[in-house]
Amino acid sequence: MSESALKKEEETPSLCRPFLKWAGGKRQLLGEILQRAPAEYGTYHEPFIGGGAVFFGLRPQRAILADLNEELISCYESVRDELPALLDWLEQYKYEEKEYYRIRSLDRTPEFQILPKYVRAARLIYLNKTCFNGLYRVNRSGFFNTPFGRYANPKIVDYENLKACSDVLQEVEFHVGPFETLLDRVAEGDFVYLDPPYPPVSASADFTSYTDKDFSWEDQVRLKAVCDQLHERGVKFLLSNAGIASVRELYRDYSLDEVDAKRAINSKGGKRGEVPEFLIRNYSSLKGEQL
């Protein structure tokens, strides 16, 4: 079943979209981001890959993608390298609450770390499609803790899109690690898109953890220092961040556009609305001339 599904239209490249929903994902801002991307660049780098909306929208010829979330990067590698086995495993899962919590609890077991990569990838995709609001969240021990979600008929296995994503990922290089490590790989003329966890827009804002480590304001300052180094090396960067005064001040030396983004994930429906975000770059036009 999986093999035949994978062979469908294999000669015709199809458009792909993120196969994971990710808090802070950029699907609804994709048009704003793509129109600000430089027309020409060398290798594309994204050190906070998340759901990968910008990468899948750009579909660059050469790309290096990274994240601090090891489970996420492992899932991408499995989609790239072992999709038939991943699909075979994913097909076994049912949308049932008892099944959900059984699969969710696997990362609490000592055997979890030795499970095949495609089994862990199938688990992540299943949980992402069936958990509350599609929210990837872990506790301080690194265990996935989002509760079961209520849906009419979630599409757990999307053969065509996973095949399209696998095709686009074939030449991609992956890394696990902090964002500073991208400095070891960039070269003059490359393009970096940065989408870090945002600082809260208010003292009462919800906190969501994508790894067992927080992303503090000190980390935001470290990221700014990395952007300065990228600029000095002749590397183009485009950064998404919260539309707040402290971020505006931090990046005052660069081009900054304010755009409205919809708050897609919040436990309270009334708080899902438009919020300002900044798109910050160190080049003045789509031709990529640096500021």
Name the one residue in this structure whose structure tokens are 């503090």: 216
By the 8 A CB rule, do 75 and 124 touch? yes
Cα 153 from Cα 129, distance rounded (Å): 10
pLDDT, position 227 = 98
Residue written as tokens 């790894």? 211
Instruction: Give how far Cα 59 sits from Cα of 15, 18, 24, Å.
Output: 10, 12, 20
215 vs 121: CA distance, rounded Å: 25
Beta strands in the chain (DSSP E): 44-46, 63-67, 173-176, 191-194, 236-242, 255-262, 274-281
What whole-number distance in Å separates Cα of residue 111 and Cα of residue 214?
Answer: 26
pLDDT by position in tens, the chain (length 291): 445 444 433 433 457 899 999 887 788 899 999 999 999 999 999 999 999 999 999 999 999 999 999 999 999 999 999 999 999 999 999 999 999 999 999 999 999 999 999 999 999 999 999 999 988 999 989 899 999 999 999 999 999 999 999 999 999 999 999 999 999 999 999 999 999 999 876 544 444 455 546 789 999 999 999 999 999 999 999 999 999 999 999 999 999 999 998 765 444 544 456 789 999 999 986 555 676
| Distance from the Cα of residue 121 to its chain's centroid | 15
Q: What is the DSSP letter of 233?
A: T
Q: Do residues 11 and 163 touch, judged by C-beta distance below 8 A?
A: no
Q: Can you name the residues that pair with 261 across neighbouring β-strands?
A: 275
The alpha carbon of 169 is separated from its chain's Cα centroid by a whole number of angstroms, namely: 14
- What pLDDT is stored for residue 275 in this prediction? 86
Residue 35: the pLDDT is 93
Question: Packing angle between helix 117-130 and helix 70-81, nearest 10 degrees?
Answer: 110
Spatial distance between the Cα atoms of 148 and 100, rounded to a whole number of angstroms: 7
How many other C-beta atoms are found inside a 10 Å radius of the C-beta of residue 98? 9
CA 212/CA 15 separation, integer angstroms: 33
Q: 265-274 — which CB contacts under 8 Å span 24+ positions?
A: 265/23, 265/24, 265/133, 265/134, 265/135, 265/208, 266/206, 267/133, 267/206
Q: Enter the pTM of the model.
A: 0.88
What are the CA-CA distances from residue 137 to residues 127, 170, 185, 257 (Å)? 11, 28, 29, 30
Q: Measured at the alpha carbon of residue 14, what is the angle toward residues 10 and 15, in degrees to the nearest 5?
A: 155
Q: The domain 2-281: what is its CATH number?
A: 3.40.50.150
